[in-house]
Structure 1
Amino acid sequence: MKKHCCEDMAYHVNFKCDVHENPFECPDKIIIFDEKDNDYGLIIHDGGSSTLEIIFCPWCGSKLQ
């Protein structure tokens, strides 16, 4: 069973930056996945650690659990 809805989502969830240790500091890290709650969020790059929960995949349109 696939863990994420599509290859694009899997890529962005698993993206690891070589420069930034903190995902909230990396401009290339745009999706965060909370394995505990099974929630997806868009990272708000405003200098903090804010996210915006999403319920549909931005790439394939699938409903996220």
Structure 2
Amino acid sequence: MDKHCCEDMKYHANFNCNIHEDPFECPDKLILFDKRDNEYGLIIHDGGTSVIEILFCPWCGKKL
């Protein structure tokens, strides 16, 4: 089980859409979490596959 900084981050990092298989197509998928590297990124919903790495939680402010 993944340990995230807060319940909001846990929800968004583990969110799975029932409609969209591709997280870049889902407007509700905000965070990509790389379990291997333990890195978080904000998905840029502009039609591409861009992600901006984040170092602090957007909900609670803790260092990731």
TM-score with structure 1 setting the length: 0.92
Give the 4+ runs in structure 1 shifted more than 3 A.
none
Q: What residue number does 1:34 align with?
A: 34
CA distance in 2, matches of 1:28, 1:5: 20
- Measured after TM superposition, the shift of residue 47 of structure 1 is 1.0
Where does structure 2 lack aligned partners over 5 or more consecutive residues? Answer: none
- Measured after TM superposition, the shift of residue 48 of structure 1 is 1.2
CA distance in 1, matches of 2:33, 2:14: 9
TM-score with structure 2 setting the length: 0.94
What percentage of aligned pairs have identical amino acids?
A: 73
* Structure showing the higher helix proportion among its residues: 1
Alignment of 1:1-65 (within 5 A): 3-64=3-64
